[in-house]
Chains A and B, each alone.
Chain A
Amino acid sequence: MGDLRELYQTTILDHNKQPRNFRVPERANRRAAGHNPLCGDRVTVHLELEDDVVKDVGFQGAGCAISTASASLMTQAVKGRSLAEVGKLFDSFHELVTSDPQRAVDAGRVGKLAVLAGVREYPVRVKCATLAWHTLRAALGGSHEPVKTE
């Protein structure tokens, strides 16, 4: 179980059990759906975007612990951020979960999201962690095509 605790950190288990911002924001004006055909995970990200700032964000859907926790943590991380900041965070997060497992985690750039670094050891689970982020990007880009990880 030792290795698995690295993947399923307490924060992840907590966000899986009690996802934050699991709702549709009242004044949402952007939305995108994502789907991981491999495991059937589905997520919809709702945004309230105003003056290039994410005023509010929520998500809905059903998925594994990694995808649910990642979506939940993402909503906390991007709320109140500008589009440029969200874009940077997307890149940093993507780098975090796809980098060499031996590399040290630069928590300064990703903050709380660093708890998801464990997926680097499980290549098939990386898509679980990134599904919500790709969906977020689609919502920000105004894309109406559902996002697919495959």
Chain B
Amino acid sequence: MSAAARPAAPDLDVASLRREFPILARTQHGRPLAYLDSAATAQKPRAVIDAVTRFYEESYASVHRGVYELSVNATRLYEEAREKLRAFLGARDAREIVFVRNATEAINLVAWSWGRRNVRAGDEVLVTEMEHHANIVPWQMLCEEQGARLRVLPIRDDGTLALEALPALLSARTRLVAVAHVSNVLGTINPVREIVALAHERGVPVLVDGAQAAPRLPVDVAALGCDFYAVSGHKLYGPSGIGALYARAELLEHMPPWQGGGSMIESVSFDKTSYAGIPTRFEAGSPNAEGAVGLAAALDWLSGIGMQRVAQHEAELLDYGTRLLDSIPGVRIYGRAAAKTGVLAFTLRGVHAHDLGTVLDGEGVAVRAGHHCAQPLMERYGVAAMARASLGVYNDREDLDRLAHGVLETIGLFG
């Protein structure tokens, strides 16, 4: 699975790829849209839009509930989507894939179900300083409820994890390590395999927040060896409101349900309810079938391009964008890891990120400005907010040229 072992793939034909995204034809404040916010959410290709529309027009019906052909067909499409996620993430068994709303819900599922059974008073949950709030707050809530303690693996100035501190932080009381595969602010690709090896040596399971990694890198949960992996469909060029939790079957089998309702049962009486097997036990209520179908189309579409090429495209653009921003006086980029995805978080001296974002907006350039749901990380770097330009498959050098132009305009206005 190593990147180096593969022959270099031909470059992406970005110009023709862009035409597959109807929204990229629109303008923002009268300027062509330069969409540089894919780390927040990715735009949707025609293939995904059509798949959702087709599902509504031709196949929509209740999933796992009907005896008629239409429902059987809708159920088949829903389960095929699960199988596609299995293959995309490199899981062994489709039963290890639970559909959820997004990565946040996947992490909450683990915290509620696995966490409440396995984390007790005096125990510890270890997160890192670069986590998104989604991989901090559920653990904080769990720790508070159970009387456990949240511990934090620090980062270095360059935005990489201070791995040397990990062995000492893995104590006899550590019950779980929760770490991002890729940071949503710094872009750092964390050495998950190494972390898993260290944790597993001590019998500690590892949850990986893959929300940022899955749309940018080839992911293989079997090779990573992690116990849980969380993804969001909307960042994978799929619909909003659909995501997945990968969990090793051995763990999932022993986890209690976290929401009760239809679908997740085996039999119900007023005396006793017995629950369905995995993964159904964790999918109470009517599922987001159109979301799953749209996500399946997105995964097919991404696989058609090849995740290795997606990663290569982003790496090239990241290099270009980094050099551009570095050439502008007053710009400071946060996150200088050698292994990094297409995220450029930066500040401009003397200008608040929000003002920078507004000037860029007026230029048709869409970036995120704020704390990026990573307030502890902002504090670590001593800034209230950063601007963040993040890349997707449809971005090209012109988008980054316009970003740099907008930054120069901002300097002109505020200088």
Answer whether residue A77 sits at the interface, using C-beta atoms and an 8 A cutoff.
no
B381: min CB distance to chain A, Å: 12
Q: Given A3-B29, A3-B362, A62-B384, is A39 in contact with B354 using a C-beta cutoff of 8 Å?
A: yes
Q: Mark B345-358, 1 if CB is under 8 A from A, else 0.
A: 00000011111001
Q: Mark B373-403, 1 if CB is under 8 A from A, else 0.
A: 0000010000011000000000000000000
Contact across chains for A39 and B385 when beta carbons are under 8 A apart: yes
| A residues less than 8 Å from B241 (CB atoms) | none
A71: min CB distance to chain B, Å: 13
Q: Given A3-B29, A125-B358, is A39 in contact with B352 using a C-beta cutoff of 8 Å?
A: yes
In the assembly, what is the distance between CA of A66 and CA of B358, in Å? 11
Contact across chains for B413 and A63 when beta carbons are under 8 A apart: no
A29: min CB distance to chain B, Å: 29
Q: Mark A1-30, 1 if CB is under 8 A from B, else 0.
A: 101100110000100110000000000000
For A4, give its contact among B351, B353, B358, B369 (CB under 8 Å).
Answer: B358
Answer whether residue B359 sits at the interface, using C-beta atoms and an 8 A cutoff.
yes
A17, A42, A63, A64: most-surrounded residue (chain B CB, <10 A): A64
Interface residues of B in 358-378 (CB under 8 A from A): 358-359, 362, 369-371, 378
Contact across chains for B413 and A13 when beta carbons are under 8 A apart: yes
B384: min CB distance to chain A, Å: 3
For A40, give its contact among B29, B355, B384, B414 (CB under 8 Å).
Answer: B384
| Category for how many chain A residues contact B | 20 to 34
| A residues less than 8 Å from B369 (CB atoms) | 39
How many positions in chain B have a CB within 8 Å of any CB in the partner chain? 18
Interface residues of B in 123-176 (CB under 8 A from A): none
B132: min CB distance to chain A, Å: 16
Interface residues of A in 91-141 (CB under 8 A from B): 122, 125, 128
Q: Given A3-B29, A8-B413, is A122 in contact with B358 using a C-beta cutoff of 8 Å?
A: yes
Answer whether residue A83 sits at the interface, using C-beta atoms and an 8 A cutoff.
no
Specify the chain B residue showing the minimal Cβ separation from A62.
B384
Contact across chains for A40 and B413 when beta carbons are under 8 A apart: no
| A residues less than 8 Å from B20 (CB atoms) | none
Contact across chains for A63 and B362 when beta carbons are under 8 A apart: no
In the assembly, what is the distance between CA of A38 and CA of B409, in Å? 24
Contact across chains for A63 and B352 when beta carbons are under 8 A apart: yes
| B residues less than 8 Å from A64 (CB atoms) | 352-355
| A residues less than 8 Å from B385 (CB atoms) | 39-40
For A128, give its contact among B351, B354, B370 (CB under 8 Å).
Answer: B354
Specify the chain B residue showing the minimal Cβ separation from A63.
B352
| B residues less than 8 Å from A40 (CB atoms) | 370-371, 378, 384-385
Contact across chains for B358 and A1 when beta carbons are under 8 A apart: no
| B residues less than 8 Å from A53 (CB atoms) | none
In the assembly, what is the distance between CA of A7 and CA of B362, in Å? 11
Contact across chains for B370 and A65 when beta carbons are under 8 A apart: no
Contact across chains for B413 and A125 when beta carbons are under 8 A apart: no
Q: Given A3-B29, A13-B413, A62-B384, is A39 in contact with B358 using a C-beta cutoff of 8 Å?
A: no
B359: min CB distance to chain A, Å: 6
Contact across chains for A1 and B362 when beta carbons are under 8 A apart: yes
In the assembly, what is the distance between CA of A16 and CA of B385, in Å? 17
Interface residues of B in 309-364 (CB under 8 A from A): 351-355, 358-359, 362
In the assembly, what is the distance between CA of A13 and CA of B352, in Å? 12
| B residues less than 8 Å from A4 (CB atoms) | 358-359, 362, 413
Q: Mark A23-47, 1 if CB is under 8 A from B, else 0.
A: 0000000000000001111100000
Q: Given A38-B370, A39-B369, is A1 in contact with B413 using a C-beta cutoff of 8 Å?
A: yes
In the assembly, what is the distance between CA of A39 and CA of B378, in Å? 11
A17, A42, A65, A122: most-surrounded residue (chain B CB, <10 A): A65
| B residues less than 8 Å from A125 (CB atoms) | 354, 358
A13: min CB distance to chain B, Å: 7
In the assembly, what is the distance between CA of A117 and CA of B89, in Å? 50
Contact across chains for B414 and A13 when beta carbons are under 8 A apart: yes
In the assembly, what is the distance between CA of A15 and CA of B29, in Å? 26
A12: min CB distance to chain B, Å: 10
Contact across chains for B384 and A65 when beta carbons are under 8 A apart: no
For A65, give its contact among B355, B362, B378, B409 (CB under 8 Å).
Answer: B355
Q: Given A64-B352, A65-B355, A125-B354, is A39 in contact with B370 using a C-beta cutoff of 8 Å?
A: yes
Q: Mark B200-219, 1 if CB is under 8 A from A, else 0.
A: 00000000000000000000
| A residues less than 8 Å from B351 (CB atoms) | 65
- 20 additional A-B pairs beyond A4-B413, A39-B384, beta carbons within 8 Å, are A1-B362, A1-B409, A3-B29, A4-B358, A4-B362, A8-B414, A17-B414, A39-B385, A40-B370, A40-B385, A41-B354, A41-B384, A62-B384, A64-B354, A64-B355, A65-B351, A65-B355, A66-B354, A66-B355, A128-B354
Can you list 14 A-B pairs, Cβ within 8 angstroms, ordered by A? A4-B362, A8-B355, A8-B414, A16-B414, A39-B371, A42-B384, A62-B384, A63-B352, A64-B352, A65-B352, A65-B355, A66-B354, A122-B358, A125-B358
When A and B form their complex, which 10 residue pairs have the shortest distance between CB atoms, in order from nearest?
A40-B384, A64-B352, A64-B354, A39-B354, A4-B362, A65-B355, A40-B385, A64-B355, A39-B385, A3-B362
